[in-house]
Amino acid sequence: MLSLFANENMKLYRRPRTWILIVLMAAIVLLTGVLMKGHEQPTPANWKQALISQNQQLTQEAAGGGRHLALFGHGKAQLQVQIQTNDYAISHNVPPQQPTGWSFSNQVEQEAVGVLLTVFVAIIAGDIVAGEFTGGTIKLLLTRAQTRSRILLSKYLAVLLFSVVLMAVTLGVSLLVGGGLFGFAGASAPYIYMSATGHVAQMDMIAYLFANYGFNSISLLMTVTIAFMISTIFRSSSIAIALSIVSLFIGNTIVRVLSTYTWDKYILFANTNLAQYFFNGPAISGMTLTFSVVVLALYFIVMNGLSWYIFRKRDVALT
Amino acid sequence: MQEQPAMQLRGLTKRVGNKTLVDHLTFDIPKGEVFGFLGPNGAGKTTSIRMMVGLISISEGQVLVHGVDVAKDFSKAMQHVGCIVENPELYKYLTGYQNLRHMARMTPGLDPRRIDEVVALVGLQNRIHDKVKTYSLGMRQRLGLAQALLHEPSILILDEPTNGLDPAGIRELRDHLRKLAREQGMAVIVSSHLLSEMELMCDRVAVIQQGKLIQVERMGDMGLSGDGALSTSFEVDDAAVAERVLRQHFAAQVVTSGDHRVTLPLLREQVPEAVAALTGEGVRLFEVKSQRKTLEESFLEMTGDETIA
């Protein structure tokens, strides 16, 4: 089994394509950093004054309960988040707009490369089985003294390892670039947010960064599984890559469009973002973390089971 | 001597929908022989081979490798089998050596030094660390053979092995396969739709047509009567008369092609007799030709066979 895994890794990392993806990812992170640095606004001298007056206004609004607040149940808590974020900036003398290496890493992950990470991994996952069929080399793999289950498992594990590598590279490069450009201070600065229950909560920037990556890796795992399944069933890299990336982009839209149906919450994409149970509350009310974890686990088992079953039964090129 | 055959097919059948592609094939493939699957395109040769190596499922019947059922204990059966199905399949972005290491890793307990052995065996020492995409077809064929031989199988299965090879390559492959069968007692199974190729390569041939086994014959008996008989053709003025005359004199199978040519297998000593019989019956004879050498061998004499430098 280990030697099969070694084989898959050899095939993966001896291909220029894999390295292009990794280098491209690092380059995009670097470019984002350089662009952000270039467009950095000079902190206005009276930033503290501005924050204090903003806070006074916000406090008033929160106390008065303006009209627009009544519309949102959590509106008050959101104001509190802003007030407390400002308070922290004032008392610690750090301008809020000033990025740190840590906040940069977070921002890059959420706004730039988080999706890209999934796309790149889908490219690898979508090709790893289908590519062997296209190249005919599947015949080598399946005519040796190895079971088909082991072959498939070694491929799945190789994709997972690649996901971890790509994620580690992204995190590492973004921290290096962020730290290099904006400084390494601020790891323990608080990230203030509204919890799922509508209360104001906070965690360290560094904890928030890892939480981000953690939640993202769940949806990444599901995309890998989708791409891998389609790759195995259709034996076509392009279909697998295209479908899994499309699902990544329209998944949330589908969930929103179908929100009037009660079974909406059973759709995979309604559950892939586990962060919703920690930050801001779930998109569909009534869903819980346990529910989502169970749904995800079921999808995971069914999709991988399907790949496995079909791969084992497949007649290889009957002509 | 009742030795267990290397491979046994027992009522091997493949059905897809209501079409029967391979229909109850039953025969044994002994050790130390080059065994041919002969049949026209679409006769079911490749389908049979794919079942034998576990690429496609078996609808009915069994394939036994040294008595082990391929469908039941695939891993154990395949330890003895090396194969190239259709083309040699290689990872073009890897070097030849990496391709072999990839294969070696799929066989538990294989000595890595074996890689160098097979490289030397197929004569690829000088190019083995180059990427496969720079290889010629002949070199890919050699590398494919090295892959198939890596785990020292006792059965080697090659599907249409001569496809795309030049005559020198075919000759080389043929010598190689015969050597493997003679010296290592390997059972070599090849498929082809070319009789001429099979004649030169195989000890025994199974003729398959429309999925059914027509016959299994020793190569010497194939279409020819007795040992040393040569395919002899006569160019005459009237083929119909000549055919009748020859049939009266010889028990062999006489084939007429066109109006002026009859062919039959004859021993060298029988040729004057046949000529006398034909002229005695008033048949005008223009040419007598005994086929000794095939076209490809003549070609080989001109080009010679060289190893890749």
The chain-wide mean pLDDT, for chain B, equals 82
CA distance A63 to A164: 47
Whether residues B242 and B166 fall in one domain: no
The pLDDT value recorded for residue A294 is: 94
Domain final residue pick, B192, B221, B250: B221
- B308 lies in a domain? no
Kindly write down the DSSP assignment for every residue of A135-197, as one continuous string: HSTHHHHHTSSS-HHHHHHHHHHHHHHHHHHHHHHHHHHHHHHHHHHH-S--TTSEEEEEBTT
Q: Where are the beta strands (DSSP E) in A77-117?
A: none
**Chain A residue numbers touching B85 (CB-CB < 8 A):** 139, 143
- The length of chain B is 309
CA distance A237 to A224: 13
User: Of A227, A158, A197, whose CA–CA distance to A7 is shortest?
Assistant: A158
Instruction: Please check whether residue A268 is in contact with residue A222, taking contact to mean a CB–CB distance below 8 angstroms.
Output: yes
Mean pLDDT, range B91-100, rounded to an integer: 94
The chain-wide mean pLDDT, for chain A, equals 86
Backbone φ, ψ for residue B260 (5° rounding)? -120, 10
Using the beta-carbon criterion (under 8 Å), do B102 and A318 form an inter-chain contact?
A: no
Half-sphere exposure of A294 (CA within 13 A, CB side): 7
Confidence of residue B301 (pLDDT cuts 50, 70, 90): very low
The pLDDT value recorded for residue A79 is: 77
Whether residues B175 and B250 fall in one domain: no
CA distance B13 to B52: 11
Mean pLDDT, range A291-302, rounded to an integer: 94
- Could you report the per-residue pLDDT of A16-55, keeping only the tens digit for each? 999 999 999 999 999 999 988 888 777 777 877 888 888 8
- The length of chain A is 319
CA distance A114 to A106: 10
User: For a pLDDT cut of 70, what percent of chain B falls above it?
Assistant: 89
Question: What ranges do the domains of chain A cover?
Answer: 2-40+100-313, 43-98
The pLDDT value recorded for residue A65 is: 57
Whether residues B249 and B121 fall in one domain: no
Confidence of residue B253 (pLDDT cuts 50, 70, 90): confident
CA distance B231 to B292: 8
Task: Report the DSSP pairing between strands B34-38 and B19-29.
Answer: unpaired
Q: Is the pLDDT higher at B25 or at A86?
A: B25
Q: Which amino acid, B178?
A: R
For residue A299, what are its two tokens? 């999808």
Other residues' Cβ atoms within 10 Å of the Cβ of residue A280: 17
Whether residues B57 and B133 fall in one domain: yes
Q: Is the pLDDT higher at A42 or at A287?
A: A287
Q: Which residues pair with B191 in a beta bridge?
A: B37, B159
Helix (H) or strand (E) holding A11: helix A2-13
| Counts for chain B of helices (H) and strands (E), in that order | 10, 14
Other residues' Cβ atoms within 10 Å of the Cβ of residue B281: 15
User: For a pLDDT cut of 90, what percent of chain B falls above it?
Assistant: 28
- Could you report the per-residue pLDDT of A245-260, keeping only the tens digit for each? 898 888 888 888 888 8
For residue A206, what are its two tokens? 């560094």
Q: Which residues pair with B37 in a beta bridge?
A: B191, B206
Whether residues B247 and B205 fall in one domain: no
- B304 lies in a domain? no
Mean pLDDT, range B61-67, rounded to an integer: 91
Instruction: Please check whether residue B40 is in contact with residue B208, taking contact to mean a CB–CB distance below 8 angstroms.
Output: no
Using the beta-carbon criterion (under 8 Å), do A147 and B46 form an inter-chain contact?
A: no
Domain final residue pick, B178, B202, B221: B221
Whether residues B21 and B129 fall in one domain: yes
The pLDDT value recorded for residue A59 is: 80
Rounded to an integer, what is the distance from CA B21 to the centroid of its chain? 21
Mean pLDDT, range B43-64, rounded to an integer: 90
Whether residues B35 and B77 fall in one domain: yes
CA distance A301 to A316: 25
Half-sphere exposure of B285 (CA within 13 A, CB side): 20
Residue A74 pLDDT more than 80? no
The pLDDT value recorded for residue B278 is: 87
CA distance A239 to A245: 10
Whether residues B126 and B11 fall in one domain: yes
Residue B264 pLDDT more than 50? yes
- B300 lies in a domain? no
Confidence of residue B295 (pLDDT cuts 50, 70, 90): very low
Specify the CATH number for the domain of residue B259.
3.30.70.270
Q: Which residues pair with B261 in a beta bridge?
A: B235, B257
Q: Which amino acid, B273?
A: E
Whether residues B212 and B165 fall in one domain: yes
Mean pLDDT, range B221-226, rounded to an integer: 43
Q: Is the pLDDT higher at A93 or at A157?
A: A157
- Taking each helix axis from N to C end, the angle separating B113-121 and B137-149, rounded to the nearest 10 degrees, works out to 140
C-alpha torsion sign, points A233, A236, A238, A241: positive
A197 in contact with B, Cβ within 8 Å: no
Residue B305 pLDDT more than 50? no
Predicted structure pTM score: 0.81
Whether residues B162 and B206 fall in one domain: yes
Specify the CATH number for the domain of residue B11.
3.40.50.300
Confidence of residue A319 (pLDDT cuts 50, 70, 90): very low
Using the beta-carbon criterion (under 8 Å), do B78 and A143 form an inter-chain contact?
A: yes
Whether residues B80 and B198 fall in one domain: yes
Domain final residue pick, B221, B239, B256: B221
Confidence of residue B96 (pLDDT cuts 50, 70, 90): very high
A290 in contact with B, Cβ within 8 Å: no
Using the beta-carbon criterion (under 8 Å), do B47 and A318 form an inter-chain contact?
A: yes
Task: Give the residue numbers spanning the domain of B76.
Answer: 7-221
Helix (H) or strand (E) holding B82: strand B81-84
Using the beta-carbon criterion (under 8 Å), do B74 and A147 form an inter-chain contact?
A: yes
CA distance A90 to A83: 10
Residue A285 pLDDT more than 90? no
Mean pLDDT, range B22-46, rounded to an integer: 86
Q: Among A45-49, A133-137, A228-232, which stretch is predicted with the lowest mean pLDDT?
A: A45-49
Mean pLDDT, range A237-245, rounded to an integer: 91
For residue B13, is it left (φ>0), alpha (ψ between -120 and 50) or beta?
A: beta
Whether residues B36 and B122 fall in one domain: yes
What is the number of CB-based contacts under 8 A between chain A and chain B? 83
The pLDDT value recorded for residue A220 is: 92
Total number of domains constituting chain B:
2
Residue B243 pLDDT more than 60? yes
CA distance A216 to B243: 84
Task: Report the DSSP pairing between strands B187-192 and B34-38.
Answer: parallel
Q: Among A34-43, B93-102, B223-232, B293-302, which stretch is predicted with the lowest mean pLDDT?
A: B293-302
Q: Is the pLDDT higher at B301 or at B100?
A: B100
**Chain A residue numbers touching B55 (CB-CB < 8 A):** 139, 142-143, 315-317
- B2 lies in a domain? no
User: Of B163, B225, B169, B209, whose CA–CA distance to B190 is shortest?
Assistant: B163
CA distance B131 to B243: 58
Residue B204 pLDDT more than 60? yes
Residue A132 pLDDT more than 60? yes
- Could you report the per-residue pLDDT of B139-194, keeping only the tens digit for each? 888 899 999 999 989 999 998 887 777 788 888 888 888 888 888 889 999 988 77
Instruction: Please check whether residue B88 is in contact with residue B145, taking contact to mean a CB–CB distance below 8 angstroms.
Output: yes
Using the beta-carbon criterion (under 8 Å), do B56 and A315 form an inter-chain contact?
A: yes
Instruction: Please check whether residue B121 is in contact with residue B196, taking contact to mean a CB–CB distance below 8 angstroms.
Output: no
Q: Terminal CA-to-CA distance of chain B, rounded, Å?
A: 45
